[in-house]
């Protein structure tokens, strides 16, 4: 009883101190703000900062590739070789995992990779919005991939696709045990795919927000330390943004491959 | 002709190598979330079955355990696939060392 009173009093003073100083709110930049409210027939299709930044990302990727390949030559310019390296990177990934039959999925996987990559990277610009830090965005992407892989499997294998849930060389006694396990691990695919990207982006940007807050509020003789950390973490975030886009794409390849060549 | 073949070979090696650079980190991230997500999905399925059929906590418990097993199965499958890949790479390296003058030029050198 006593303790709780003391604790609440302390919390009160802490709150007062916090309101006196600039308020620490590292989750502020994940807020979705509607710029233009559009809701025809009850469907909310408002133009929010999330939508705006998705458009910007698409425009940046499109513009960058158009600019890089504006006058393609045999001896590439700097930008052209970057674009070609990106192209070869995705192509190598598909060839590695799916094989020659994955060629027709190249446009889809290429688009997905560069969309996620630039969503992650543009989020690092101060004042911008990280589209991939919204679970609804990553969830929609992951569900789209998941449903696509199911339709692909059903198209190529028909009802035999259900054999996906029965592992090879399994004694029939173990079937009631293994089939639910396989179904759960299959259903967990979109969950882990979306949550991984969302959680990594949110966590990284929250850490950056906290460190920037420390840098801004600490006295000059201490501020260099969190500032140094922000520099290191920004580099780290660039790397993680790439890794996450890479994982997202490589798992797309793996799921498509599972649907094409079962087991 | 021979020249062009080796250069294209080394080019195909080069475009694969960035794939393997971030591999360790991506593997760690994939494993951790793959393991946790199945537990949540299993528990969620069990909870929904219980919610609809009013069968107490039993399906939640059973499917939670199924989910945990599925998480471990994911990790196991992933690790086995990866160790198979490592074994294949080691085999390739050994083959290179056995006949260095033909293969080492375009295979060992990254």
Backbone angles phi, psi at A76, to 5 degrees: -70, 150
* pLDDT, tens only, A36-54: 777 777 777 788 888 899 9
Residue for token pair 């003789």: A221
| pLDDT score, position A263 | 63
Q: What percent of chain B has pLDDT over 90?
A: 24
Residue B16, pLDDT > 60, answer: no
Closest by Cα among B82, B67, B98 to A254: B82
Of B40, B63, B74, the CB nearest to A185: B74
Question: Under a CB-based contact definition with an 8 Å cutoff, are residues A65 and A57 in contact?
Answer: no
Inter-chain touch B22–A192, beta carbons under 8 Å? no
Query: Testing the interface with B: which of A96, A188, A195 to mutate, by most B Cβ within 10 A?
Result: A188
| pLDDT score, position B100 | 59
Residue A83, pLDDT > 80, answer: yes
- Least confident range from A162-171, A224-233, A246-255, B2-11: namely B2-11
CA distance A230 to A131: 21
Question: Under a CB-based contact definition with an 8 Å cutoff, are residues A102 and A95 in contact?
Answer: yes
* pLDDT, tens only, B82-96: 788 778 888 888 888
Of A92, A181, A242, the CB nearest to B16: A92
pLDDT band at A149 (very low <50, low <70, confident <90, very high): very high
The distance of A88 to chain B (nearest Cα, Å) reads 6
Of A93, A184, A250, the CB nearest to B38: A184
| pLDDT score, position B69 | 92
Establish how many alpha carbons lie within 13 A of residue A2's alpha carbon, considering only the half-sphere containing its beta carbon.
Answer: 0
| pLDDT score, position A197 | 92
B37 chain-A contacts, CB cut-off 8 A: 188, 191-192, 195
Q: Which of residues 129-168 of A touch B (CB under 8 A)?
A: none
Structure-token pair, residue B94: 């050994």
Mean pLDDT of chain A: 84
| pLDDT score, position A119 | 92
Q: Which of residues 10-39 of B touch A (CB under 8 A)?
A: 12, 15-16, 18-19, 22, 25-26, 29-30, 33-34, 36-38
pLDDT band at A173 (very low <50, low <70, confident <90, very high): confident
The distance of B102 to chain A (nearest Cα, Å) reads 24
Residue B17, pLDDT > 60, answer: no
Longest dimension (CA), chain B: 73
| pLDDT score, position A6 | 45
Closest by Cα among A4, A59, A21, A61 to A245: A61
A88 chain-B contacts, CB cut-off 8 A: 15
- Least confident range from A24-33, A173-182, B24-33, B72-81: namely A24-33
Query: Testing the interface with B: which of A175, A181, A261 to mutate, by most B Cβ within 10 A?
Result: A181
């Amino acid at each position: 009883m006593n303790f709780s009173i003391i604790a609440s009093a302390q919390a009160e003073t802490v709150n007062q101190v916090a309101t006196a100083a600039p308020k620490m709110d590292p989750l502020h930049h994940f807020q979705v703000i509607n710029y233009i409210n559009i809701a025809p027939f009850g469907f909310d299709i408002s133009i929010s900062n999330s939508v705006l930044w998705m458009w910007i990302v698409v425009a940046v990727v499109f513009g960058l590739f158009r600019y890089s390949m504006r006058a393609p030559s045999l001896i590439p310019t700097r930008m052209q070789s970057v674009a070609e390296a990106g192209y070869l990177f995705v192509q190598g990934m598909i060839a590695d995992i799916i094989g020659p039959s994955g060629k027709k999925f190249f446009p889809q996987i290429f688009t997905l990779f560069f969309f996620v990559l630039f969503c992650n990277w543009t989020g690092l610009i101060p004042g911008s919005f990280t589209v991939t830090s919204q679970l609804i965005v990553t969830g929609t992407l992951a569900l789209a991939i998941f449903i696509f892989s199911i339709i692909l499997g059903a198209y190529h294998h028909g009802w035999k696709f259900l054999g996906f849930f029965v592992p090879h060389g399994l004694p029939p006694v173990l079937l009631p045990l293994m089939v639910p396990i396989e179904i759960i691990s299959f259903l967990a695919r979109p969950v882990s795919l979306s949550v991984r990207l969302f959680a990594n982006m949110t966590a990284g940007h929250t850490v950056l927000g906290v460190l920037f807050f420390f840098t801004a509020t600490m006295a000059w003789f201490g501020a260099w330390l969190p500032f140094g950390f922000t520099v290191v973490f920004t580099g780290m975030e660039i790397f993680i943004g790439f890794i996450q886009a890479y994982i997202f794409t490589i798992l797309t390849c793996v799921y498509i491959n599972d649907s094409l060549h079962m087991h | 002709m021979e020249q062009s073949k080796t250069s294209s070979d080394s080019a195909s090696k080069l475009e694969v190598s960035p794939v393997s650079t971030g591999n360790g980190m991506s593997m760690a991230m994939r494993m951790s979330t793959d393991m946790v997500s199945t537990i949540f999905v299993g528990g969620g399925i069990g909870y929904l079955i219980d919610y609809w059929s009013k069968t107490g906590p039993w399906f939640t418990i059973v499917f939670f355990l199924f989910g945990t097993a599925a998480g471990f199965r994911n990790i196991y499958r992933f690790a086995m696939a990866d160790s198979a890949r490592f074994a294949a790479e080691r085999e390739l390296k050994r083959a290179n060392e056995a006949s260095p003058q033909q293969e080492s030029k375009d295979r060992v050198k990254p």
